[in-house]
Amino acid sequence: MKLFFVIATLLLALGSALLHWTQPGKQTEVPVIWWITQDDHYKQEIVTVFREWLREKGLPDVDLRIDNSNQDATKKLVQGVSGVGADLMDLYNFQIDLFPATGMMLDVTEEAKRLGFSPDDTYPALRPEITQNGRQYSFPRNTGVSLYWVNVGTFKKLGLPAPPFRWSTDEFEELGKRFVAAANPPGTRQRAYFVNGVSRDVMRRGLGLANFNETGTFCTLNDPRNVAVLERVRKWTVEDRLMPTREEDAAMAADISGSGSMFSHFDSGRFGLIYTGHWAFIMIRPRGTFELAAAEGPQDGFPNTELGGGAVGVYAGSKHREHAVRFLQYLGSDHFNRLIVRQADSLPPVPRYATTDEFLRPAGRENEWPVHQAFGRATAETGIIVSKSPFVLQSVVYRLELEIYESLLVGRLNAEQAAALMADRINAEIQLSVRRDPGLRALYEERVALQKRIEAKRAAGERVPAAWVTDAFHQAYYRAQGWLEEEAP
């Protein structure tokens, strides 16, 4: 029965793609390329400016159309490996790694160097996101770190100081308790929370710990530092009530109608802070003018922020590859970057545009200036992508870590048990992948040998060659500690 439903799902996905891209009225005199992305005012404006850019560059016109119906990751994957993928695809989170690994995304390395959208043209910390084994498969469309947005008016109303930009976990807890006490009258059901959530990754990295070791061959979440982080976040959720549980968050969302519940609660003061990206301006601006600020996630030790965003890749089976590649070139252009600055839909992919007055101090939006400046500074100075391993899918890591964390919150596990189980489950997935794939096994054995050399260097108090450290967090951490032997220019 399960096989039947799997086959039915695949057939429906393929059928929907064929129907969508061959229906009457889709014909035009210029080449039609399809872009799987959300269909909204902002994306339509991107399409319009793209065609203007083509005309100004003297390039052939293209009819770029948005496919909003196939955004689901499974649909994109099924259609791509079956030969009927869209010309352009938005890639988020685990898709950035998974889709190129299937062979369905076009290697654009040479075109990127020639046309000006190579890794050198965006944030250095994003290089591991858009490349695999030294080859490029995408280019950022929107990017940036996640920070806490602060509704300063809510804190003033409660007679509390707004949080500082950088703060320790103790400072976070102390202000959080004061906020919850002030925002919820005694004897009533709790309706207001300090934050919507907290990043366990940021807290772990502050203590010098990542999800994996330096070479991605072993999950390190059984470390005592992760035990301490898990226990602290459990306490904040279950005992101190600084943030809602998943069930409480769903109940809060049911209290209001429409989209953007997190932003409605931020507006009303039910959340003092919300943890999200710079793109939130597109949701907050229509709600009025707020006195805004921004803060990093609480952390002790090494300053870091979570860097991510969305990229666009070209489908390897596209019949209009040249035109699709031009869209990636457009993402690196002045036209596109200035458009993103004006829309405030995350940071522009080319860093220099995030240093302009147009981005940092937009005219008539003085209340936003502290937030723009905070996101620009953090993205450039402390942004690090998520710690990944080539031997296990990031979607699997995320699912297992969250599943075990939820078990901790409901009391099925204590923090030490949860940390050990996270590492055991993820390491079991690594071994399963290595056993199944001889090519992956060869890479794994090479990396394990390299890991031993790294550990020997560290034990001897010697610096480690930068090329040996493949994990993005460890690269940044080693460099900050002075443990790296940098390559000569």
| Whether 400 and 458 share a structural domain | yes
Measure the CA–CA gap between 489 and 475, rounded to whole angstroms. 17
Mean pLDDT, rounded, of the chain: 91
Show Cβ contacts of residue 281 under 8 Å, excluding neighbours closer than 6 positions. Answer: 344, 345, 368, 371
Which of the two residues, 16 and 319, has the higher pLDDT score? Answer: 319
- List Cα–Cα distances, 109 to 34, 83, 90, 120, 470, in angstroms: 22, 22, 18, 11, 20
Judge whether 286 and 294 are in contact, CB under 8 Å.
Answer: no
For residue 398, what pLDDT is reported? 93
How many domains is the chain partitioned into structurally? 2
| Whether 77 and 123 share a structural domain | yes
At residue 71 the predicted structure's pLDDT band, cuts being 50, 70 and 90, is: confident
| Whether 448 and 350 share a structural domain | no
| Whether 352 and 409 share a structural domain | no
CATH number at residue 55: 3.40.190.10
Judge whether 421 and 412 are in contact, CB under 8 Å.
Answer: no
Examine residue 107 and state whether it is found in any structural domain, yes or no.
yes
Average pLDDT over residues 92-96: 82
| Whether 401 and 353 share a structural domain | no
Measure the CA–CA gap between 281 and 466, rounded to whole angstroms. 37
For residue 255, what pLDDT is reported? 59
Measure the CA–CA gap between 59 and 56, rounded to whole angstroms. 8
Report if pTM > 0.75. yes
Quick check: 454 pLDDT over 90?
yes
Examine residue 446 and state whether it is found in any structural domain, yes or no.
yes
| Whether 412 and 482 share a structural domain | yes
Quick check: 19 pLDDT over 80?
no
Examine residue 89 and state whether it is found in any structural domain, yes or no.
yes
> In this structure, what token pair is assigned to residue 427?
């390491």
* Cβ-based neighbour number of residue 43 at 10 Å: 18
Judge whether 90 and 71 are in contact, CB under 8 Å.
Answer: yes
The string of pLDDT tens digits covering residues 313-372 is 999 999 999 999 999 999 999 999 999 999 999 999 999 999 999 999 999 999 999 999
| Whether 424 and 329 share a structural domain | no
Examine residue 118 and state whether it is found in any structural domain, yes or no.
yes
Examine residue 155 and state whether it is found in any structural domain, yes or no.
no
**What single string gives the DSSP state of each residue in 418-472?**
HHHHHHHHHHHHHHHHHHH-HHHHHHHHHHHHHHHHHHHHHHTT--EEGGG---H
Examine residue 353 and state whether it is found in any structural domain, yes or no.
yes
What string of H, E and C letters represents the secondary structure of 307-341? Answer: EEEEEEEEECCCCCHHHHHHHHHHHCCHHHHHHHH
* Cβ-based neighbour number of residue 240 at 10 Å: 15
| Whether 10 and 132 share a structural domain | yes
| Whether 25 and 108 share a structural domain | yes
Examine residue 254 and state whether it is found in any structural domain, yes or no.
no
| Whether 343 and 467 share a structural domain | no
| Whether 14 and 117 share a structural domain | yes
The string of pLDDT tens digits covering residues 233-250 is 999 999 999 999 988 888
Examine residue 376 and state whether it is found in any structural domain, yes or no.
no
| Whether 348 and 444 share a structural domain | no
What is the span of the domain harbouring residue 460? 199-242+391-489
